[in-house]
Amino acid sequence: MDKNSRLSLTAFTLNGQMVEVDAPPGERLSHSLRERLGARDVKIGCNAGDCGACTVLVDGAPLCACLMATQQAMGKVVETVSGLAADDPDAKALADSFQAHQAAQCGICTPGMMVSAVALLRDSPQPDATQVADALSGVLCRCTGYRKIIDAVVAAHIPGLEAPADGSVGSPIPRIDGAAKIAGAERFGDDIAPPDALVLRVIRAPHDHADFTFGDLSGFARSHGLATILTAQDVPGRNRFGVIPGFEDQPVFAEGRARFRGEAVAALIGPAEAVTALDMTVLPITWAALPAAMTCDAAMAALPLHPDRGETNEMCRGFVQCGHAESALAEADVVAKGLFETGFVEHAYIEPEAGFAEVHDRQVVVHACTQAPGMDREALAAILAQPLDQIRIVPTAVGGGFGSKLDLSVQPFLALAALKTRRAVRIAYGRVESMQSSTKRHPARMQVKIGARKDGRLSGMAFDGDFNTGAYASWGPTVSNRVPIHASGPYRISDYRAKARGIYTNGPPAGAFRGFGVPQAAIAQESLFDDLAAQLGMDPLEFRILNALDNDTPTVTGQVFEGGVGIKVCLEALRPAWQAAHAESGRTGDPAIRRGVGVAAGWYGCGNTSLPNPSTIKAGIRPDGTIVLHQGAMDIGQGANTVIAQIFAQAMGVTMADLTLIGGDTQVTPDAGKTSASRQTFVSGNAAKLSGETLRAQLLALVNAGPEAQIVVSDGQISITDGGQMHMPDLRALPVDGEGYSLAASETYDPPTLPLDENGQGSPYAQFGYAAHLAVVDVDTRLGTVTPVRLVAAHDVGRAINPLLVEGQVHGGVAQGLGMALMEEYIPGRTENLHDYLIPTIGDVPPIETLIIEEPDPHGPFGAKGLGEHALIPTAPAILNAISRATGVRIRQVPATPARVRAALKEAGYA
Ligand code: FES
Ligand code: FES
Per-residue pLDDT reduced to its tens digit, 734-791: 999 999 999 999 999 999 988 999 999 999 999 999 999 999 999 999 999 999 999 9
| CB of 431 closer than 6 angstroms to any ligand 2 atom | no
The DSSP annotation for 863-900 comes to G----SGGGTTTHHHHHHHHHHHHHS----BSS--HHH
Ligand 2 pocket, 143 CB below 6 A? yes
- Residues 845-864 have a mean pLDDT of 96
Q: Give residue 192's identity as a one-letter amino acid code.
A: I
How far is ligand 2, taken at its centre, from the CA of residue 145, in Å? Answer: 9
Cα 196 to Cα 9, 268, 274: the distances in Å are 22, 16, 13
H helix runs in 548-677, sequence order: 567-573, 575-582, 640-652
Is the minimum distance from the CB of 400 to ligand 2 under 6 angstroms? yes
349 closest CA partner among 593, 459, 512: 512
| Whole-number pLDDT of residue 166 | 82
Distance from residue 816's CA to the centre of ligand 2 (Å): 12
Q: Which amino acid is at 344?
A: F
pLDDT of amino acid 478: 94
Give distance in angstroms: CA of 350 to centre of ligand 2. Answer: 7
pLDDT at 432: 98
Q: Whose CA is nearest to atom 3 of ligand 2?
A: 141
pLDDT at 439 over 90: yes
Instruction: Convert 858-869 to b/e letters by CB count within 10 Å (16 or more is b).
Output: ebbbbbbbbbbb
Residue 677's pLDDT is 67
Residues 670-713: pLDDT tens digits? 998 888 767 888 999 999 999 999 999 999 999 999 999 999 99
Q: How far is the CA of 863 from the centre of ligand 1 (A)?
A: 42
Q: What is the pLDDT of residue 583?
A: 83
Average pLDDT over residues 398-407: 94
578 band by pLDDT with thresholds 50, 70 and 90: very high
Q: What is the pLDDT of residue 280?
A: 86
* 639 Cβ inside 6 Å of ligand 2: no
Is the beta carbon of 666 within 6 A of some atom in ligand 2? no
pLDDT digits (tens, 9 = 90+) for 632-673: 889 888 889 999 999 999 999 999 999 999 999 999 999 988
Q: pLDDT value at position 812?
A: 97
In this structure, is the dihedral angle defined by the CA atoms of residues 67, 71, 75 and 79, taken in order, positive or negative? Answer: positive
pLDDT of residue 582: 87
- 107 CA: nearest ligand 2 atom: 1
Cα–Cα dist 262/257, whole Å: 12
CA of 471 to the centre of ligand 1 (A): 30
Report which ligand 2 atom has the smallest distance to the Cα of 349: 3
- In the predicted structure, residue 626 carries a pLDDT above the cut 60: yes
- How do residues 469-517 score in pLDDT, each as one tens digit? 999 999 999 999 999 999 999 999 999 999 999 999 999 999 999 999 9
| pLDDT tens for each residue of 116-135 | 999 999 999 999 999 999 99
Ligand 1 center–CA 138 separation, angstroms = 9
Rounded to an integer, what distance in angstroms lies between the CA atom of residue 429 and that of residue 549?
45
- Report the pocket of ligand 1 as residue ranges, CB < 6 Å: 44-47, 49-54, 64, 66
Task: State if residue 482 touches ligand 2 by the CB under 6 angstroms criterion.
Answer: no
Cα of 750 from ligand 2 centre, angstroms: 31
Q: What is the pLDDT of residues 579-610, one digit of tens each?
A: 999 888 777 789 899 999 999 999 999 988 88
- The rounded Å distance from CA 14 to ligand 2 centre is 25
- Give the count of alpha carbons within 13 A of 45, CB side only: 29
Encode pLDDT of 604-616 as tens digits: 999 888 888 899 9
Q: Does ligand 2 have an atom closer than 6 angstroms to the CB of 508?
A: no
Ligand 2 mutation pick, 98, 105, 149, max ligand atoms within 8 A of CB:
105
The arithmetic mean of pLDDT across residues 614-638, rounded, is 93
Q: What is the DSSP string of 587-609?
A: E-SSTTEEEEEEEEEEEEE-S-S
Distance between Cα 369 and ligand 1 center (Å): 19
Question: Residue 1 has what pLDDT?
Answer: 35
Per-chain mean pLDDT for the chain = 95
Q: Which pLDDT does position 164 carry in this prediction?
A: 67
Mutate which of 143, 405, 809, 811 for ligand 2 pocket (most atoms within 8 A of beta carbon): 143
As a whole-number percent, the residues of the chain with pLDDT over 90 amount to 92
- CA 134, 135, 137, 143 torsion-angle sign: negative
Quote the ligand 1 centre to 81 CA distance (angstroms): 15
Q: How far is the CA of 110 from the centre of ligand 2 (A)?
A: 7
Sheet holding 425-428, edge to edge: 228-230, 264-270, 198-204, 425-428, 354-360, 363-368, 391-395
Question: What is the per-residue pLDDT across 143-177, written as a single tens digit (0 to 9) for each?
Answer: 999 999 999 999 999 987 666 678 899 999 999 99
Residue 49 alpha carbon, nearest atom of ligand 1: 3
pLDDT at 4: 45
Among the bound ligands, the one closest to the CA of 28: 1
pLDDT of residue 608: 86
Indicate whether 21 pLDDT > 70.
yes
Ligand 2 contact, 181 CB (< 6 A): no
Amino acid 3: pLDDT: 44
Residue 821 one-letter amino acid:
A
pLDDT value, residue 121: 98
Per-residue pLDDT at 5 exceeds 80: no
- Interval between CA 470 and ligand 2 midpoint (Å): 27
- Nearest-atom number in ligand 2 for the CA of 351 is 3
Closest protein CA for atom 2 of ligand 2: 141
Atom of ligand 2 at shortest range from CA of 350: 3
Q: Which ligand 2 atom is the nearest neighbour of the CA of 142?
A: 3
